[in-house]
């Protein structure tokens, strides 16, 4: 769905169709940024990282999501992390590193970039992909069959867009998603 995937693994261990083991433990954190909320979970502790997400509203049309991969009990080596967004099936275009959606009365620009951290880890992008209904529309995706679908009801599957940017780096590092809505004005 809309989260970070570390080393291609889930946060919990799948034990059946609807059964998950080793449930990740999450906590809401005090926000250090204005107009923000933050939380973190330990679902990737076995891989040496914790995932912290901060959502910040910059203004009514601009939002920022910061995904931090932080060292857990041991200091991990380089890790691959993919920021994954499941989005509506609507007209789109790529504008450099920005995915642009054309909605009925607005344009949504979504950009995912690494953020430098002073004197600590950093990440570099290694892949960008967009998948719709199991078909790669942009970039490279090794196994797209299960991507680009939304299921509003059990046994129902509808096309959606799956936007994924994969990064590699040594934690701690931060990945930033910017969402910018530009409203169309009609006379």
Residues 167, 180 contacting (CB under 8 angstroms) = no
Q: What is the mean predicted confidence (pLDDT) over 21-46? A: 90
pLDDT in tens, 74-86: 766 889 999 999 9
- Is the pLDDT at 120 greater than 80? The verdict is no
Distance CA 110, CA 99 (A): 5
- Is the pLDDT at 96 greater than 80? The verdict is no
Distance CA 123, CA 69 (A): 10
Please tell me the predicted confidence (pLDDT) of residue 29: 95
- Is the pLDDT at 1 greater than 90? The verdict is no
CB-side neighbour CA atoms (13 Å) of 151: 8
Distance CA 70, CA 72 (A): 6
Residues 109, 177 contacting (CB under 8 angstroms) = no
pLDDT in tens, 52-69: 999 999 999 999 999 999
Closest Cα partner for 113 from 60, 174, 68?
A: 174
């Amino acid at each position: 769905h809309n989260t970070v995937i570390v080393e291609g693994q889930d946060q919990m261990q799948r034990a059946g169709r609807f059964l998950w083991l080793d449930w990740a433990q999450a906590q809401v954190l005090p926000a250090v940024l204005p107009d923000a909320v933050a939380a973190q979970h330990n679902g990737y502790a076995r891989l040496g990282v914790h995932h912290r997400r901060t959502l910040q509203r910059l203004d009514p049309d601009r939002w920022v999501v910061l995904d931090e991969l932080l060292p857990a009990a041991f200091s991990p080596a380089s890790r691959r992390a993919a920021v994954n967004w499941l989005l509506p099936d609507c007209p789109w275009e790529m504008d450099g590193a920005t995915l642009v959606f054309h909605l009925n009365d607005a344009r949504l620009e979504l950009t995912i970039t690494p953020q430098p951290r002073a004197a600590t880890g950093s990440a570099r992008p290694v892949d960008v992909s967009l998948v719709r209904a199991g078909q790669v529309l942009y970039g490279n995706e090794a196994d797209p069959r299960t991507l680009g679908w939304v299921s509003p009801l059990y046994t129902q599957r509808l096309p959606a867009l799956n936007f994924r940017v994969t990064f590699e780096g040594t934690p701690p590092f931060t990945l930033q998603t910017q969402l910018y809505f530009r409203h169309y004005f009609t006379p």
